[in-house]
Structure 1
Amino acid sequence: MDTAPRLDDNALLVLRKRYLVKDSEGKLLETPEGMFRRVAGFIAWAEERYRAGNRDRVAGEFYRMLSNLEFLPNSPTLMNAGREMDQLAACFVLPVEDSLDSIFDAVKMTAKIHQSGGGTGFSFSKLRPKNDVVASTMGVASGPVSFIKIFNTATEVIKQGGTRRGANMGILRIDHPDIEEFVTVKKDPKELRNFNLSVAVTDAFMEAYQGDTDFPLVNPRTQQTVKKVRARDLFGLIAEAAWTSGEPGVLFIDTVNRHNPTPRIGDIEATNPCAEQPLLPYESCCLGSINLSRMVNNSQIRWERLRDLTHLGVRFLDDVIEMNRYPAPEIEQITRRNRKIGLGVMGFAHMLIRLGMPYDSPEALKVGGEVMRFIQAESKEASKILAEERGVFPNFRGSMWDAQGLPQRNATTTTIAPTGTLGLIADTSSGIEPIYDVAYVRIILGDIEVKIVDPLYEEIKGTGKERELRARLFRRAHEVAPIDHLRIQGVFQENVDNAVSKTINLPEHATVETVLNVYLAAYRMGLKGTTVFRDKSRDHQVLSCGEHHVC
């Protein structure tokens, strides 16, 4: 028998504010149970296109995994499925070519995507550098950073889905002549508040760094070297900026393209706002996450249920591609031709606590690897079954799966998203992050401050084992050494098609050299990118310790 979802006060607050259907006066028309039924029923309509009479059965299975909080799709699917907008994807990458038409076409499309609840990523690397010639007007170019500011302002005035501001990722290649301006722009906390920034770091740059040689900065318009900089000085500047403000992140762009599943279709230049989803120009992607905390029973992993959820999750996300209403024809075309989906996980830290394993232990690495390897293998099997039912993705020919002789419905199946809000709804830890603290303050929905008390810590509070278990199992983000953060990211990345959202949390006293060493280790480990955040490096941060807790 179906049961209504059990949600705590913070989850209900978020759902009522952002997700549940309201009338024109803001009155709620929907319960959380109604939301899950709306989403499950609408997405399952896709089943009728391939097997008549399959919808009701599949809708029931979708509803059970949603209402049990075992799996949740990305926010736009929860918000928009079965409603007028029907825009269900979270991640988009839009091209920005070196012309005013291209730039402002991208601004317009960004506004439409943000209005529907999606986030956008861009590479600005093709834009000519500041002070370069503009032949048509005999003037001089203002450079990529000036245009990023235009996108930032547009985002400021378009509220996302009527409920939240849009998020953007701005990327610039490390060999662009304006790289130093890009790297340092967010040292001013008032700049580019609606953007995350990442530097696309190339293998050639890392070789120059290792050899301590000069590195050429190249005008993308002329392909001429404008100047040379010492690679170690430039990487030091990036590390210092990230130490100061948490930005930019680094994206190892050649590593990303070595894993590009459809190299014949084009190169990947950018990612979505949290960097876990590298995409081709105009591509979009739908994400969903399995709640690993619910996959433990009596200190044992529920492998059979994990298998079922992986197959159901892949089917659900492939159905989302069918049911999605896309913001532009170009987006619909390449999304349907590649059919990328991103099944991932949340609640990993809680899984470890339930298994009695510290986050920064060899056992945690082993379990993380086993779990994600299992999900990856089962997701490929699920995509193969869908390919037999529905056909391979149209760009299959010449893809990495074609080369391996493995029929697939989806060019990618796995991604690790941050799941900040989804984790709050499911009352579990975010993505593959450690817990932030056993009790902390979190800003939600832009400006609402809520107190979070870890639900698993509540279970041991006041018992004789509280102190011992807290020290051993409840490993807080700042207690975990940077290399242990990276190792966890590494074992997941080894078994993920796309990328992994992971923040390397650093204590306030960490040095610029620590940041630099994180970057070098991440590159050596074959990670696709990394982000650091030093505690209190911003006046305003989403997570902070409660009054009586010291991070």
Structure 2
Amino acid sequence: MVVEKVMKRDGRIVPFDKDRIRWAIQRAMLEKGVRDEKLLNRVVRRVVRRINELYDGRIPHIENIQDIVELELMRVGLFDVAKAYILYRKKKAEIREEKKKILNKDRLDDIDKRFSINALRVLASRYLQRDEKGKIAESPRELFERVAVLSVIPDVLHDPSVFSKEGGFDHRPVYDFKAEDYEGKLSIGRFRLNRYHIERLVSLYNELASEGKMKVPLEEILRMIENGAFDCYEDEIEEYFRLMTEQVFMPNTPALINSGRPLGMLSACFVVPIEDDMESIMKAAHDVAMIQKAGGGTGLNFSKLRPEGDLVGTTTGAASGPVSFMHLIDAVSDVIKQGGVRRGANMGILEVWHPDIEKFIHAKERNTGTNVLSNFNISVGLWGDFWEALKEGKRYPLINPRTGEKVKEVDPKSLFEELAYMAWSKADPGVVFFDVINRRNVLAEAKGGPIRATNPCGEEPLYEYESCNLASINLAKFVKYDEEGKPYFDWDEYAHVIQKVAKYLDNAIDVNKFPLPEIDHNTKLTRRIGVGMMGLADALFKLGIPYNSEEGFAFMRKAAEYLTFYAYKYSVEAAKKRGTFPLYEKSRYKDGELPVEGFYHRETWNLSWDELVEEIKRYGVRNGMVTTCPPTGSVSMIADTSSGIEPIFALVYKKSVTVGEFYYVDPVFEAELKKRGLWSDEILKKISDNYGSVQGLEEIPEDMQRIFVTSMDVHWLDHILAQANIQLWLTDSASKTINMPNDATVEDVKAAYLLAYKLGCKGITVYRDGSLSVQVYSVEGEKKKRVPAKPSDYAMKKLKAVVEAEPWLEKFINVEAILSGTNGKRKLTFSVSPLTVPKPVHEHPHHAEKPDIPEEKIKELLGVVYCPVCYERDGELVELKMESGCATCPRCGWSKCVIS
């Protein structure tokens, strides 16, 4: 008889699948350079035949099957392959034991097995619930179930049997309801609702009932749930659960932590207003504390505050200025742990016309004993009049916001140079292009003016007291293979998932427990969502497309275009069934405008935008904005994919776990090495010692060097082009780091700012390699010099085209010097003291000696150079890397940005 079932290690009985045997044997064969399809098929047939002979319809254990595989490999003479298979088995056993330790479990389930050790470590350290003694009290399965259940509650309350879009019903809200009385009694199919799910269900019911949109009383809805009337939504919960556990998409961090839990706050991004009076300033400090306590990050524009030294009317004293009040907010953030998980994060913005702009630019300059605003990212807000002054060489007026009068005029060229120098030296401030942000802002009239602030990492421009919840789709999951093994991208499945994720985020607004009533009100006026993407680098690796190539940029544009088009598709359908966002009629959507630059460049279209706009004009949209590209530090670690829209940080690097040291290798790169018979410990060490890069290694074929590029292998020009091409099709912005080598110059930074602006980016964060860490320690010994990145042919062409179109840019952009790598290297831009000039270093942090830092300096450095989570938990100083515009821990995924 044929064997049809097999027993897993956890005792489960599952269908016998010979394809899994085939995959395991093929993996071992490829590792030893054996690429023989006929031989592979022969071995698989022998293994299956032997299993059927020995077990004759009975159920074998998985270990028995693996023993048979080893024996049959040796019987056909594949002794090296058998050895590789045995070692792989041993490694898998070690991995299982490591996972059990991480999760504090005796037995792994099928969901635990899907995630890597790295992913489980991140889940365990920050996401899984713990008991009062600090022990893990939740499995990954339970986490994703509570997230999925909460996401479908709005579907139940918007079901046509109980909901009316037009309203007119008079069922009253219920405010004395005790959710705990119903805990364990309500379920949707197999999924049970906990008390916090029920609490959010009742809250949404009350909101809809107060609008007259509920056809039946709450008691009837609860009875219907008990009787299984809404079990049809079980499949919807199952799909969200599957999409998350198969790592196809992940919500932002607060949603993973807080869904179905007491805090209940799902959004990551907030903007808090701050006016020029003490009541408003202290209210802002309070609001920041409440938002960050719940797990969110805050953006504040300090430009309304009077400058330092200005008159204070009530006391006839002198004002302390915006920067001093930034220190107040920083102190608040320092003592708040977001949802018990991490310190708060802020974006501080000052607009370029403010009299304190120079002090602001230098606010994070490190001097001994100075608070460096470690809980802040800072950005200068630039408007079109500044660029005009720079172009014309005219002096630029600085305006007192209290009086509206000019205080003084400055040389815009000197201010621009000072800004670029500090970004070069300290990686702060960044810049935000407010004129670009507001160029296609369809909400300006509805909200009474332009947007003037962003969230901590800059990808979400927001109005005052507005928030946004985000989720990222893993592009690498949509790369499939045809019958000949050639890769292709499944655009149809991608379109389907985009709409599902848009719905997830729209639903999240309805069940979100906002930290302040002002935020609840303003968020629901626009119903802004942020569908984003991650895994771009891994998707390009799989497709065999270089990140820094014209083909790569075309793929990025198309991926972003699909993202926005199909997010809008969902939003139109939701508007039909549930209604538009409340400010729709006051927006420019009804006039056929979109907040998407690509819509105005018909030559770039891949989809039928004309038809979509007609649908929007006819039915409206549910969401005021729909797409963004956030940082995904720990979220992408959970998804086992590359972060956000960034190139990969390193293809190979050393990691330590309880079972010892091993090389972490990008999974796509690992598969390609094995496919080509190049896999060995020697080559892994060589790549690791080469800063995790394959550039310049003679053992690696040229085509692999071209495709498998890391963030520092990509020239900063190509980084900007990646951001610009993706930005073309987003409604909001993109969080990205423009990586520059250590020997980049201030002239390079200035050129980068101007190019990003002219190419349509909404902001830019430049990071020169080593500018975070070089002041903290020095590297001893001679190390191999990194192969310098060169701009792609496409980048060269674009650079020349931008400068030729506007010749005044030649004053700041030396095309030939940039292309030759000599830009600004023969002259000093500034005469600065040795205390502020970083020592040029080419070494990678992984090859540095352990820094010898006095204990009293540790606290100052945490969250600036080193990961505070790893230090607090394990006492380890793990150096942060710059990714998606934020300092991020490569070990645990902690980021200064709360989204990731």
- Bin of the TM-score, shorter chain as denominator length: over 0.9
The Cα shift of 1:455 comes to 2.1
The match for 1:202 is 383
Deviates more, 1:433-442 or 1:139-148: 433-442
The Cα shift of 1:279 comes to 0.2
**In the alignment, structure 1 residue 215 sits paired with structure 2 residue 391:** no
Q: Which amino acid aligns with 1:539?
A: S
**In the alignment, structure 1 residue 77 sits paired with structure 2 residue 255:** yes
The match for 1:528 is 762
In structure 2, the CA distance between the partners of 1:103 and 1:450, relative to structure 1 (3 Å rule), is farther
Selected match of 2:416 from 216, 219, 235 = 235
Describe the SS at the equivalent of 1:286: strand
The match for 1:282 is 465
- Which structure shows the higher strand fraction? 1
**In the alignment, structure 1 residue 381 sits paired with structure 2 residue 614:** no
Distance in 1 (alpha carbons) for counterparts of 2:654 and 2:527: 38
| C-alpha distance after superposition, 1:189-234 (max 9, x if no partner) | 7500000000000100001111121100000010111010011110
Distance in 2 (alpha carbons) for counterparts of 1:221 and 1:352: 51
The match for 2:645 is 432
Selected match of 1:140 from 290, 296, 318 = 318
The match for 1:446 is none
Describe the SS at the equivalent of 1:84: coil
| C-alpha distance after superposition, 1:268-312 (max 9, x if no partner) | 110000000000000000000100011101211011210111110
TM-score by length of 1: 0.95
**In the alignment, structure 1 residue 356 sits paired with structure 2 residue 569:** no
The match for 1:68 is 246
Describe the SS at the equivalent of 1:410: coil
Describe the SS at the equivalent of 2:298: strand
Describe the SS at the equivalent of 1:477: coil
Q: Which amino acid aligns with 1:546?
A: H
| C-alpha distance after superposition, 1:462-511 (max 9, x if no partner) | 64467125412121111211111111111111100000111100000000
Structure 2: state its 5+ residue gaps.
Answer: 1-13, 15-108, 162-229, 482-486, 593-613, 679-698, 777-842, 849-880, 882-900
Distance in 1 (alpha carbons) for counterparts of 2:654 and 2:521: 43
In structure 2, the CA distance between the partners of 1:352 and 1:134, relative to structure 1 (3 Å rule), is same
Q: How does 1:419-458 map to 2 (within 5 A)?
A: 419-440=632-653, 452-458=664-670
The match for 1:48 is 156
Q: Which amino acid aligns with 1:391?
A: G
The match for 2:828 is none
The Cα shift of 1:105 comes to 0.6
TM-score by length of 2: 0.59
In structure 2, the CA distance between the partners of 1:545 and 1:304, relative to structure 1 (3 Å rule), is farther
Q: Which amino acid aligns with 2:645?
A: I
Does structure 2 conserve the Cα–Cα contact (< 8 Å) formed by 1:437 and 1:545? no
The match for 2:516 is 328
Deviates more, 1:158-167 or 1:182-191: 182-191
Deviates more, 1:196-205 or 1:478-487: 478-487
Distance in 1 (alpha carbons) for counterparts of 2:652 and 2:442: 41
Distance in 1 (alpha carbons) for counterparts of 2:544 and 2:704: 11
The match for 2:439 is 258
Distance in 2 (alpha carbons) for counterparts of 1:172 and 1:294: 40
Distance in 1 (alpha carbons) for counterparts of 2:561 and 2:364: 38
- Give the RMSD, CA atoms, in angstroms: 2.2
Selected match of 2:526 from 312, 331, 338 = 338
The Cα shift of 1:253 comes to 0.7
Q: How does 1:465-476 map to 2 (within 5 A)?
A: 467-468=700-701, 470-476=704-710
| C-alpha distance after superposition, 1:67-116 (max 9, x if no partner) | 11101010000000000110000000000100111111111111111111
| C-alpha distance after superposition, 1:340-376 (max 9, x if no partner) | 0000100001111100011101110111111111121
Q: Which amino acid aligns with 1:4?
A: I
Does structure 2 conserve the Cα–Cα contact (< 8 Å) formed by 1:145 and 1:182? yes
**In the alignment, structure 1 residue 547 sits paired with structure 2 residue 847:** yes
Describe the SS at the equivalent of 1:467: coil
The match for 1:115 is 293
| C-alpha distance after superposition, 1:129-153 (max 9, x if no partner) | 0000000011110000000000001
Q: How does 1:383-532 map to 2 (within 5 A)?
A: 383-404=571-592, 406=616, 407-440=620-653, 452-461=664-673, 463-464=676-677, 467-468=700-701, 470-532=704-766
Distance in 2 (alpha carbons) for counterparts of 1:476 and 1:103: 43
Distance in 1 (alpha carbons) for counterparts of 2:315 and 2:667: 62
Q: Which amino acid aligns with 1:384?
A: V
In structure 2, the CA distance between the partners of 1:123 and 1:440, relative to structure 1 (3 Å rule), is farther
In structure 2, the CA distance between the partners of 1:386 and 1:288, relative to structure 1 (3 Å rule), is same
| C-alpha distance after superposition, 1:137-176 (max 9, x if no partner) | 1111000000000000111111111111111000000000
**In the alignment, structure 1 residue 22 sits paired with structure 2 residue 203:** no
Of structures 1 and 2, the larger Rg is shown by: 2
Deviates more, 1:455-464 or 1:496-505: 455-464
| C-alpha distance after superposition, 1:221-258 (max 9, x if no partner) | 10111010011110100000000011111100111112
The Cα shift of 1:42 comes to 1.2
In structure 2, the CA distance between the partners of 1:544 and 1:57, relative to structure 1 (3 Å rule), is farther
The Cα shift of 1:545 comes to 4.6
Describe the SS at the equivalent of 2:586: coil
Does structure 1 conserve the Cα–Cα contact (< 8 Å) formed by 2:263 and 2:339? no
The match for 1:7 is 115
Does structure 2 conserve the Cα–Cα contact (< 8 Å) formed by 1:10 and 1:450? no
Does structure 1 conserve the Cα–Cα contact (< 8 Å) formed by 2:451 and 2:463? yes
Once the two structures are aligned, what percentage of the paired residues are identical? 41
Describe the SS at the equivalent of 1:151: helix
| C-alpha distance after superposition, 1:404-441 (max 9, x if no partner) | 16110000110000111111111111111111111347
In structure 2, the CA distance between the partners of 1:452 and 1:529, relative to structure 1 (3 Å rule), is farther
Distance in 1 (alpha carbons) for counterparts of 2:715 and 2:474: 25
Selected match of 1:273 from 434, 456, 476 = 456
Distance in 1 (alpha carbons) for counterparts of 2:255 and 2:662: 25
Structure 1: state its 5+ residue gaps.
Answer: 444-448
Deviates more, 1:5-14 or 1:89-98: 5-14
The match for 1:244 is 425
Describe the SS at the equivalent of 2:753: helix
Describe the SS at the equivalent of 1:227: strand
The Cα shift of 1:121 comes to 0.4
Q: Which amino acid aligns with 2:377?
A: N
Distance in 1 (alpha carbons) for counterparts of 2:256 and 2:747: 42
The match for 1:192 is 373
The match for 2:781 is none
Deviates more, 1:90-99 or 1:180-189: 180-189
What is the number of equivalent residue pairs in this alignment? 544
In structure 2, the CA distance between the partners of 1:421 and 1:450, relative to structure 1 (3 Å rule), is farther
Does structure 2 conserve the Cα–Cα contact (< 8 Å) formed by 1:440 and 1:545? no
Larger RCO (CA within 8 A; separation ≥ 6): 1
The Cα shift of 1:544 comes to 5.8
The Cα shift of 1:457 comes to 2.2
Selected match of 1:538 from 738, 748, 772 = 772
The Cα shift of 1:3 comes to 5.6
The match for 1:93 is 271
The match for 1:57 is 235
Describe the SS at the equivalent of 1:345: strand
Describe the SS at the equivalent of 2:111: coil
Q: Which amino acid aligns with 2:124?
A: R
Describe the SS at the equivalent of 1:385: helix
